Every structure is written in structure tokens, then in C-alpha cells.
Structure 1
């Protein structure tokens, strides 16, 4: 009888282990306590190479703010031989409802020591190249909730390393990390924070923890009348989403606290209300934390235990700086390292000198732009009040690229918020 019972238990465990391996998710290829995956930390965004179904690796953004894996090009999906079962209409962050995607339900993702099995992909039917324009390197898709759902994931922005832990590892809080509750709602992570505003009032907002957003703190004013604008703010484009560009205002809050850590004078985005705002209201959140804040920490996302573990990074106390030139720069997608001015902020140093939107940037401080990374140019333009910057631009006559004039400008960076 005991032999029969033992055999039954052994068979049951074997079936459980076998069935676990067949569940969609990300798993280590070899049984280990942890493995390390290097990533490229551009503006504190997490970019890793991913091979889909054995093909050449492509740059993907690791994004806790999305529920599904996304591929940005149907043309690329066809070239990868993806099979589709249906089409979906997606809603973008600006309220757009005409973004169509094809669903490819079963794919294999290879991340080196980690693999994603039975992974579904939403493949955008209209090519989305804007992230390359903003980040400066090609990004072909997004990995979302599936990567985090079974395993603790540590993100070390200082060293550009992600540690993927065995699902039952980290039962105890690691030394020097602080813990806060992480609630998973519709496959997205949320925390409670404390925000002291410039008018002296205090908020206790529910915030989406969004590794794929390049802002610091974002507050949605339409969710509560308690969110107030600071006395000093500027109108600005806030970022690029699948549904289009987000617009609104940039300002600062007095302080932001979460996981018993406190940041002061935090740059804060206040987006305009859009037709998409009802989704934000329904989620109960008042805003989000993005890479500008998260990149100042070491994080462990532990979805199975509903906790976020946080430690200060080396740059935790560095001041938050916004662009002091007035130029919003973009890279021309699928081209050599050509940079152009996409927008000019009224009243800024660049606007007063006469730099215009769509000027192509040839040189910065006498260094040709093909030697610059876009992220390094942006760091320069928000580096230090009073710093002198020299820019050479090329201004074309309409669409005729054979007719142009080159101009040189010199200005000092000036803080506006």
C-alpha cells in the first residue's frame, strides 16, 4: 500500500512539474537559483535583445506598464513567419481607437539564459517607429507582464543588469532593501505613495509602476481635484505612446515618498485629459512612476508575493533636471545618426536665437552628431544652468534636400522650472 501511495505521489509531482513547464511564461533554461541578463539602460529604460522563434535577436523594451507582448511591425512579423489567429482594435493613450493589431498566439522567446514559452504577440499592423526617434536606437517591441508574473526580477540600473530568480527564491527580504506592497491589477503593478505638493497639501496616490515610461512622476489631474498645479510650470510634449504624442505641463512637487524613501523637487508631468482618461479613472490610479524616478533605485519586482523591494542607487540624490535649451530633439528612424529639432519651446534660449523646428543638427560643441548618442545630447542639454552650448544646424527649403542653409548658434542653458 505504501509503495502504491509513494508511486502515486511521485507520479502526481511529475505531472505537476511537467504541466508547469507547459504553462505560458518565462523560465530559466537550466535549473538554477538565479541568472543574470545584461540590458542597455538608455535614459533608464530597459532594452534587451530577444530572439523570436529562433530568428536574429531584436531590441525589446521591458515594460511593466503593459499587459501584453507587442511587436511594432506587421511587415517584420510576416518576415519572422508569425501565424495570426485574429485582429484586435487597440486604444492608445491619446484616445485613438483605430490602432489595429494581429494576434500571434504561440511563440518562443529566447533571452539567453531565460526563455519565454507559448508567448502571445500583438503585432501592430501600422509600423510604429517613434520610439527609435525618442530613444535613439531601434526598438522593435515590448515585453510586458508575462516576464514578471512567476519570478522575482531584480533591476540594477547602475550596472545594466537584470537578475531573474527562481520562483521560490528570495523568501526573505535582502539586506538594505525596503519593502512596499505591490498590488497587481489587470496584470499591471501599483503602489501607494506620498506626494507633498507645492501648495503644502499632501496626496496619497495609487501609482502605476511603469518601467517603460521615460518620465519621473506623472499625475493625472482628472482623477481627483486634490491634484494641484505648481505655481511654476511650462507647457510641453510629455512623451510618445502607441496612440500618439502626449501633451500637457511640466512642473515639480515638493517631495515624493515610497517604500520609506524620499525624493525632493521631483519633476512631474501633468498630462491633458484625453478620451482615454476613463481607463485611468476606472483603474483607481492617480498617476505613475516612470524611469526617471525608478532609475535612481535598485528594484526587485516580486509579483508572486505582491511586494516591491527598493534600494537607493548611486544617483538617488542627484537633482532632477529638465531640458534647459528649449529644443526637443529626435533621431530620424532607420537612418544614420541624423538628429533633428522636432519642437521649439516658446521663450526658450534656442527659440530666442532663431533655431526652428525641423532644423537638422549637424554639430554640437564642434563634435559632429554622428559621434553622439541621442541620450548623451539630452543629458548635456539638461546638465547645468549657465553652461554654454554651440549648435550648428542645416535648414532645408521645404522638401528639397538639395537647397539648404547652415547656421551656427551659441547659447547658455537656462532653467525654466
Structure 2
């Protein structure tokens, strides 16, 4: 499990007309199509071809418009057709974001093609979510795909399957539960129940596959939604308009359909950031990827329902980062290695990108490219903070193992081990190596 929660919700600052001809269709003769995905930090990453360029997109039920982060590609490699400048606003403590609206684009996802896809291009490199996930993210897609298919999301086997809604036939499933959805602003909402102080409270939640958290709840005294007395302040994630902060805690129970979770973790974002969401949609929060991944789902926008079936991930514990460290992939470093048969260079794959390496320093030594991980946020009073670690420290070893051969997911998994686990972390700080030791401690007992 990684640290950062990725979520984006758009409020476009102009009126949009409907493009009825903008539609995904399976190629002739194909009844359904299976597409493999990567599950990273509880969110789904799928391959998408845009105007002939292969990209990686986050599949997000929480967004109603498709986005491309074009700073990840050379300016001339991705064609931006019929461009028009606009501004976007989303969750976060920042301002509006400059973007370009592009139409009449060809998107290909597996055997599904849309020849008139509209997307919004963002050039601000500060909105690069790739370092938080440890792999490049070129864009985000949600409603545009879900509206045209019945979509099976198999979290346990990591694939989606697209079905023609006019040919799909539901199968009997005794272990499944079919739950009604409601669509507002082209986003799916579901009714659930939370239990606090032994009181059962109904809640309306956005189904947000682009959030890696379990649940978000919005404080509401009139509805009885309040923060447990046991909580801690934390960074909740990166939104389109900046960082989102709030509190983390636990609730007694959460129920969706016939399924119930005991003592799940929950996040309460800053009330000022979500004020418009509660007023406009009577929304009480979100259900995110850490819960959704525990089910294999069939998502049916046209009939406004979602089918849930428990999978092998259902019994995973709801766990916290017990170090207090938020770590990101901040690029690459040149690492000297001994190589008797040094050839003088070549290609290296780093986080899905091909990098040419030609830094040979001798007949038996060479420099190779390896990923670099640094601390970006430290929770005040956490074990990492009390041990003396600082923001921008580059982690090079953890418990005697070099981080250069780890993925970000592997590195951060150390922070989710049992309370009391001892960690020895070696970092680079201003070019000097330093070693820090501490024990993991749960922020909520």
C-alpha cells in the first residue's frame, strides 16, 4: 500500500453541450473485451491509446471529464486537436488550473474505440501524480467510458471487461448483492449506513474508484456525522487544485447493501474544502478504492446499479501508515556498480519510461540509473518525526536493504507493518549519509 490518496473532482467554469456522437463502441464482431490493469495504491491504471500515442490512465468513477497531463510527453508527440483554453477547479487549497479543451480525438481502450473524445489537457507539472504512485500517470478517464458499457471490474485478478449493454445478460449470483446507484453530474452515488455511538446513520456517498482511501465522511452535526474523539491530523491527498488535509479516525461499522465492515478507517477532509459538495449534491462523503478493491464489481450506469461480490481481498485489515512519512519517487539517481564486462551504455527502464544510460567511468565500473525516493511530508509527532528525519531526505536503505532496487510500493510497505516493528533508515541529506532508528506506532490505538 502506498501513502498518497489520489482524487480529482472537476467543476468546469463554462457550459458544455452534449456530444451525442461521442461514444465508445467495440469493434465489429466483439461482444466483450477484457483489459488488464495495474492496481497501485488501491487505484486502477489502464492502457489508453490517444491519437496514436500509448498512455496510462487512472480509471476514476469520481470524474465526469477526461484529463491528460501533457507535461509527461514531448510537446510534439501528442496531438492536441481543436484546442480551446479554459480553467478548471477541483478539490484542494489552491487556485484555478489553466487547461486546454480538445475535441475530435481518437481514444482506443482495448477493442473499444471513440473517434470523438473530448479531453482537457493540463500542463502544470505541479499536478504530476506519478511520483506519488511510483509510475507515470498520463491521464484520467471515468464517465466517458462507463456510460457506454456495462463494466466488470475484477480487482482480485486485475482486469476490467467491457460489455455491450444491449447484449449483456445478468447471471444469478447467490453471493452477490445488487445495489442501486444514482447519477448526479455524471457521477455515481450510493446509499450506505455508518454506525457511530451505537446509532445507525444513512449516508449518501460518491463511488470514487480514483481515491485510494477507504471512506471519506463530511462532518455534519445536523445528521449526526462527527469525528470520533480518537483521531489524528494528516495529509489526505493531492487534488486538482492543491493539497487536501483533514483528520483520520475510525467508525464502529459501515454497511453497503448486505455487506458490513467493522471498525473501518475513515478520513474527514477540511470542511471548508468540501462545503460546495455537501450543498450542491447533499453528499455525505465517498467510498474509495480501499473498500472497492474488496469486491469484484459490475458497474451499470445505464440501469443505475452496481453488483458487488466479495473477493480474496475482502479480509485485508484496514491499516495505517505507522511511520508518519510520506515518500515519493522524485526521479532517478546514478548508482555506481562494478561490471567487468561493461559495454559502455544502453537502455534502462525506470518506472515505465526508457532511459538511455552511457555514463561509463572505467573498464570495470559504470553508473546505472535507479529510482530515487525522498520524504515529502512528515506527520508531526510521528515516529519518523521524533527520530529526526526531515523533508527531502533521500531514503537509500531501509533495514539494510537498498531502496534502489525497490518499487515505491515495496518501500512504503515497511511503514504498514505491525506496531513495534523496528526500522533502520539510512538517508542522504545534503550529500551526507545519516542513519535513523525508530519503532512503528499506530496513530490510533
Whole-angstrom CA distance in 2 between matches of 1:24 and 1:294: 28
Aligned-pair CA distance for 1:73: 2.3
The whole-number CA distance in structure 1 between the counterparts of 2:27 and 2:37 is 19
The Cα of 1:173 is off from its aligned counterpart by 4.6
1:38 Cα offset (Å) = 0.1
State the match for 1:68 in structure 2.
65
Equivalent-residue separation in structure 2 for 1:394 and 1:241 (angstroms): 29
Q: Tell me the equivalent position of 1:305.
A: 303
- Alignment root-mean-square deviation, CA: 1.9
Shift of 1:150: 1.9
Q: Distance in 1 between matches of 2:288 and 2:331?
A: 24
Q: Answer yes or no: is the 8 Å Cα contact 1:94–1:276 preserved in 2.
A: no
SS across alignment from 1:251: strand
Contact 1:192 1:205 in 2 (8 A): yes
1:139-158 aligned at under 5 Å gives the runs: 139-158=137-156
User: 2:178 touches 2:305 (CA, 8 Å); kept in 1?
Assistant: yes
Residue in structure 1 matched with residue 330 of structure 2 by the alignment: 332
TM-score, structure 2 normalization? 0.83
- Partners of 1:239 and 1:46 lie apart in 2 by 16
Distance across 1 between alignment mates of 2:111 and 2:253:
40
Structure 2 match to 1:19 = none
Quote the Cα distance in structure 1 between the aligned partners of 2:293 and 2:244.
Answer: 22
Find 1:381's aligned residue among 411, 415, 427.
415
- Give 1:411's aligned residue: 438
CA contact (8 A) 2:212 2:288 kept: yes
Whole-Å separation in 2 of the counterparts to 1:223 and 1:60: 38
The alpha-carbon deviation at position 387 of structure 1 amounts to 1.9
Q: Counterparts of 2:318 and 2:274 in 1: how far apart (Å)?
A: 29
Match of 2:267 among 269, 289, 294: 269
Deviation, 1:93, is: 0.5
**Residue 86 and residue 130 in structure 1: after superposition, are their counterparts in 2 closer, same or farther (change >3 A)?**
closer
* TM-aligned CA deviation for residue 334 of structure 1: 7.3
Relative to its length, the structure with more helix (as a share) is: 1
Partner-residue secondary structure (3-state), 1:117: strand
Number of matched pairs? 387
- Among 81, 84, 91, which residue is 2:82 paired with? 84
Report the Cα offset of residue 350 of structure 1: 1.4
Q: Distance in 2 between matches of 1:114 and 1:75?
A: 24
Quote the offset at 1:276 in angstroms. 5.3
Q: Secondary structure at the match of 1:226?
A: coil
Within 1, Cα distance between the matches of 2:119 and 2:406?
34
Distance in 1 (CA, whole Å) between partners of 2:425 and 2:93 is 37
Instruction: Point out where structure 1 has 5 or more consecutive residues left out of the alignment.
Output: 1-21, 397-403
Question: 1:118 corresponds to which residue?
Answer: 116
Alpha-carbon spacing, 1:275–1:386, altered in 2? closer, same or farther (3 Å)? closer
**Aligned position for 1:254:** 252
Pairing 1:193–2:227 present: no
Aligned to 1:193, the other structure's residue is in SS state: strand
Check 1:316–1:139 CA distance in 2 against 1; reply closer, same or farther (3 A cut): same
Per-residue Cα deviation, 1:64-89 (whole angstroms, up to 9, x for no partner): 10010001126848421212342221
What is the match of residue 283 of structure 2?
A: 285
Q: Deviations over 1:75-106 (max 9, x none)?
A: 84842121234222111202544211111011
| Separation in structure 1 between the aligned mates of residue 50 and residue 441 of structure 2, nearest angstrom | 46
The 2-side partners of 1:185 and 1:237 are apart by: 28
Q: Is 1:391 equivalent to 2:418 in the alignment?
A: no
Residue aligning to 1:351: 385
Residue range with higher mean Cα deviation, 178-187 or 337-346 = 337-346
State the partner residue of 2:314.
316
> Residue 364 of structure 2 corresponds to which residue in structure 1?
none
Tell me by how many angstroms 1:357 deviates: 1.5
Which deviates the most, 68-77 or 368-377? 68-77
CA distance 1:36–1:92, change in 2 (3 Å): same
TM-score (normalised: structure 1): 0.88
Residue 53, structure 1, aligned to residue 51, structure 2: yes
Aligned residue for 2:251, secondary structure, equals strand
Aligned to 1:25: 23
Distance 2:24 2:278 in 1: 28
Check the 8 A contact 1:90/1:97 in 2, yes or no. no
Q: Secondary structure at the match of 1:338?
A: strand
Point out the more displaced range, 296-305 or 272-281: 272-281
2:263 partner SS? strand
1:214–1:35: structure 2 CA closer, same or farther, 3 Å change rule?
same
How far off is 1:209 after superposition? Answer: 0.3
